[in-house]
Amino acid sequence: MNIVVCIKQVPDSAAKVAVQDGQVTWGEAPLVMNPWDEYAVETALTVQEDHGGDVTVVSIGKEGVEEALKIGLAMGSNNAILISDPALEAADSQAVARVLAAVIQKIGDVDIVFFGKQAIDGDMGVTAAQTARVLGWPILSLASSVETSSDGIRVERTVEEGRQVVEGKLPAVVSVVKDIGEPRYPSFMGIRKANRATIPVWTLGDLGIEEPISKVHWPELQNPPVQEIANEIIPGDSPEEIANTLADKILGEKVL
Amino acid sequence: MDFNLTNEHQMVQGMVRDFAQKEIAPIIKEFDRKQEMAPFVLPRMAELGILGICLPVRYGGQGMDYIALGLACEELEAVDSTLRVVMSVHIGLNSLGLFQWATEDQKERFLVPQAKGDKISGFGLTEPGAGSDVAAMRSTAQRDGDDYVINGEKMWISLATKAHHVLWFARTNPEAKDPHDGLSAFLVELDRAGITRGDIHGKLGVRAGSTGWISCQDVRVSHLNRIGEEGEGFKIAMSCLDNGRYTVAAGATGLIRACLDESIKYAKERPAFGRQISKLQLIQQKIAHMVQSYDAARLLYLQAGWMKNQGMRNSRQTSLAKWFATDASFEAASQAIQIHGAYGYSDEYNVERYLRNSKGAVIYEGTSEIHQLVQAGYALGYRQDAPLRNELPPYNEQTWREN
C-alpha cells in the first residue's frame, strides 16, 4: 500500500494569534504539525502496519516546514517531501490542491492520500476534497475509522444523525477526524532517523506545473471585537433559589 | 559556545512532554491521594523507550546523549516528581552505574534488560541507621565459595516494591582500616530467596511513587553479581550518585518551571484590590525569583550534562546543580502556594503537591548540607577528585547508535 499524508505546519494551538498591522502574528509560539494531521499520519501508519508499503509525508511551505515533516518521519513515516516555491506563498486551498495532486502524481502508484479534517490556522477544511477533485479520485471525508483491502476502502463517518459507512475504490483521498485513534508519539529511533534524513525539496519546476492561480484572497484581517464581560455572583439561601434567580435573569436578558 | 538545543533534543523534549502531560497529568492527583503508583506508568515508560533513553543501542538503549536524559527528567518532574524518581534510580543510580562499572557479561545479563525496560532497577545504599554517613552501613556480604551471603536492610529505597534488580551495597571487609574501603557493590535480583520488601506510606511527598524497604536475610548471590572489585563499593556508589544527582537537578528544574507556570496562570486570573494580582509588585517579585531560579538551575544541569557528554569529571558541577535546583524548587513551590493564597493550600491546585514533592530531593542523594560541605571542600582545596578505575563513557553518537 503506497500512502501519502499531506500535512501543514501551523502555529501551536496554545499560541495567542492576533492581527497586527494587517498581518497575522503568533508571537514567540512555536510552529507545529497541524494537530489534525497527526491523526492522518497515525491512520497511515496503522494501515501500513496491516498492509505494508510506504508512507510519505508531504508539505508545502518554506524551509522551516521541514520541522513538521521531521515529526512525521519520527512517528514512523518512511519518506518526506517538501514543496517549496516562492510562487506558492499566498496560495489558496484550490491552488494548494493542484500542487498536491501534482506531487501525488509525481510520486506515482499512490493508493491512498490521507489528510487531517482541516488545518487549525485557515480552518477551511476543503483541501482534501479539492485535491481529490483534481486527481479525479473519490473523497471519503471526516472518517472516524478506516478499513482497506487490496482494491477498496471502507470508512465510517460520524455525522450529526449517526454513523455512515462509506465504501470506495482505490486510489482514494481520505480526511480523518479525532475518533480515528490517538496519534503515537515520535519514537527515539524515529527521532534519530528524522534528524539524519535529508528531505528532498521540490519546486513547481520539478513538478512540471505552472504557477496555480489563487482565486481566494484575504483582503482584510481583523481581531475579534473586545467583549466587555461582567461577572455577577447570585446570592441565595438554597441552590434552588439561586438557580431560579439565575434562570429568571437568563430569560430576562433574552439569552434563551 | 552554543546554548541552542539541537532539533533532536527539542524532539525528545516534545515527546516526553506530550507523554507526561497527556497521560500522567490527568490522573496524577488521584494516585497521589491514593498513595499508589499508577500501574501503567512503568510499562508505558518502558514501551516508549524512556527507561533506556541515554544508553547505547547495543545495550538495549535508545542511543541519545546525557543532555537528552536531563531534558526528559525536566519534562517528567514538571508533571510529577514520581516520574523523575523512576529515571533517577533506574537510569541514574543503577543503569549508568552498570554502564560505568560492570563487565561485558554483566552488562549483557543486567543492563540490556534494564535499558529495554524489561527489568526495573533500584539502588540500595541508604539504611535505617546510615544516610549521609554511608560508611556506617551495617549490611554485610560474606564470601562463601563462589557466592556471597548478604544480610542487611535498606531503607527509603525508591521502587522498592516495583524493581526486579537492586544495586546493593554491603560491607565485605569489616577489617578495612578506612571503613569506606570495606564496601562492595552487588547486583541483586529481587526474586531471590531471603528477600522481603515493602512500601512506606504516610510520606510527605512523592506519594504516587513507591518508596520502601528491602531486607536481605542470608541471600546468596554469585560472585559474578559483584559489580567492580571488592572494596570499590564506595567509589561505585559515589559515581552512581554523580549520575543520580544530575537527574535530580534536571527534575527539580522542571518542578520550578511547573511552579512558575501555575503561578503565572493563577496570578493573571485572580483579582484583588480591583485588578489581577499579577499587577501587584510583591507577586511580581515572587515570579521574578522563580524565573531567576529556573534559568540558573537549567544552565547548571545542562552544563553538567554537557560535561558528561564530553567525558569530563563533573562531580562538583553536578553537586552544585543538585543543591541549587532542589533548594530553589522548594522555595519556588512555597512561593507558588503563597501566590495561590488559601487555594494553594488545598489539593484543588497542583502547587501543594509540588511543595510536598520538592522536599524529598533536598534530603536524598546528598542533603543540601552535604552539598555545601562538598562545595566548600572543593573551594578550600580540601577535596579533589581522584581518577577512577572506570569513568562514565563520554557520549559518542556513532558508537551509541550501532547495533
Nearest neighbour of A191 by CB, restricted to B12, B18, B19? B12
Residue B150 contacts residue B221 (beta carbons within 8 Å): yes
Q: Does B6 touch chain A (CB under 8 A)?
A: yes
Cis preceding-peptide flag for B387 (omega within 30 of 0): no
Mean pLDDT calculated for residue range A121-145 = 95
Q: Choose, out of A70, A184, A191, the residue to mutate when testing the contact with B (most B CBs < 10 Å).
A: A191
pLDDT of residue B365: 95
Chain B: closest CA distance from residue A35 (Å): 13
Q: Is residue A97 included in any domain, yes or no? A: yes
Q: Under an 8 A CB cutoff, do B48 and A71 touch? A: no
Q: Which residues of A touch B (CB under 8 A)?
A: 67, 70-71, 74, 185-189, 191-192, 194-195
Mean pLDDT calculated for residue range A249-253 = 89
pLDDT tens profile B77-130:
999 999 999 999 999 999 999 999 999 999 999 999 999 999 999 999 999 999
Q: Provide the CATH number for the domain around residue A11.
A: 3.40.50.620
Q: Is residue A236 included in any domain, yes or no? A: no
pLDDT exceeds cutoff 90 at A27:
no
Counting residues of chain B whose pLDDT is more than 70, the rounded percentage is: 100
pLDDT tens profile A57-111:
999 999 999 999 999 999 999 999 999 999 998 899 999 999 999 999 999 999 9
Sign of torsion, CA B401 B52 B374 B297? positive
Say which of B36, B108, B365, B391 is annotated catalytic: B365
pLDDT of residue A174: 97
Distances (CA, A) of B377 to A38, A153, B235, B300: 53, 71, 18, 19
pLDDT of residue A233: 86
Pairing relationship of beta strands B183-189 and B165-171 according to DSSP bridges? antiparallel
Side chain identity at residue A58, one-letter code: V
Mean pLDDT calculated for residue range A147-155 = 90
Mean pLDDT calculated for residue range B174-203 = 96
Mean pLDDT calculated for residue range B60-87 = 98
- Distance between CA atoms of A250 and A244, rounded to whole angstroms? 10
Chain B: closest CA distance from residue A165 (Å): 31
| SS3 label, residue A53 | coil
Q: Under an 8 A CB cutoff, do B8 and A189 touch? A: no
- Distance between CA atoms of A123 and A179, rounded to whole angstroms? 19
Q: Is residue A77 included in any domain, yes or no? A: yes
The number of folded domains in chain A is 1
Closest-CA residue of A relative to B10 is A191
- Determine the CATH number of domain B122-231: 2.40.110.10
Q: Does B62 touch chain A (CB under 8 A)?
A: yes
pLDDT of residue A229: 82
Q: Under an 8 A CB cutoff, do B11 and A187 touch? A: no
pLDDT of residue A230: 81
Counting residues of chain A whose pLDDT is more than 70, the rounded percentage is: 100
Q: Is residue A239 included in any domain, yes or no? A: no
> Residue B341: left if φ>0, alpha if ψ -120 to 50, beta else—which one?
left
pLDDT of residue A256: 73
pLDDT of residue A254: 83
Closest-CA residue of B relative to A183 is B18
pLDDT exceeds cutoff 90 at B279:
yes
- Determine the CATH number of domain B7-120: 1.10.540.10
Q: What's the ipTM?
A: 0.90
Residue B6 with chain A: CB contacts under 8 Å = 195
Listed in sequence order, the residues at least 6 apart from A227 whose beta carbon sits closer than 8 Å to its beta carbon are none
| SS3 label, residue A18 | strand
Closest-CA residue of B relative to A231 is B271
Residue A185 with chain B: CB contacts under 8 Å = 15, 18-19, 48
Listed in sequence order, the residues at least 6 apart from B369 whose beta carbon sits closer than 8 Å to its beta carbon are B132
Residue B400 with chain A: CB contacts under 8 Å = none
pLDDT of residue A21: 86
Q: Under an 8 A CB cutoff, do B7 and A70 touch? A: yes
Domain B235-401 has CATH 2.70.150.10: no
Task: Break chain B into its structural domains and give their ranges.
Answer: 7-120, 122-231, 235-401
Pairing relationship of beta strands B165-171 and B226-227 according to DSSP bridges? unpaired
Q: Choose, out of A13, A38, A185, the residue to mutate when testing the contact with B (most B CBs < 10 Å).
A: A185
| Residue A151: band (very low, low, confident or very high) from pLDDT cuts 50, 70, 90 | confident
Mean pLDDT calculated for residue range A43-59 = 97
Side chain identity at residue B293, one-letter code: S
Q: Is residue A51 included in any domain, yes or no? A: yes
pLDDT exceeds cutoff 90 at A224:
no
pLDDT exceeds cutoff 80 at A210:
yes
User: Is B232 a known active-site residue?
Assistant: no
Q: Where are the alpha helices (DSSP H) in B193-314?
A: 233-269, 281-310
Q: Choose, out of B11, B12, B18, B53, the residue to mutate when testing the contact with A (most A CBs < 10 Å).
A: B11
Q: Is residue A252 included in any domain, yes or no? A: no
Q: Choose, out of A12, A39, A188, the residue to mutate when testing the contact with B (most B CBs < 10 Å).
A: A188
Q: Under an 8 A CB cutoff, do A189 and B15 touch? A: no
Q: Is residue A251 included in any domain, yes or no? A: no
Cell 516495583 appears where?
B162
pTM of the shown model: 0.91
pLDDT of residue A245: 93
How does the average pLDDT of chain A come out, rounded?
94
Where in the sequence is the domain holding A203, given as residue range(s)? 2-207
Mean pLDDT calculated for residue range A164-186 = 95
Q: Is residue A84 included in any domain, yes or no? A: yes
- Distance between CA atoms of B242 and B365, rounded to whole angstroms? 9
Q: Does B398 touch chain A (CB under 8 A)?
A: no
pLDDT exceeds cutoff 90 at A150:
no
In this structure, what C-alpha cell is assigned to residue B153? 536492610
Q: Under an 8 A CB cutoff, do A191 and B19 touch? A: no
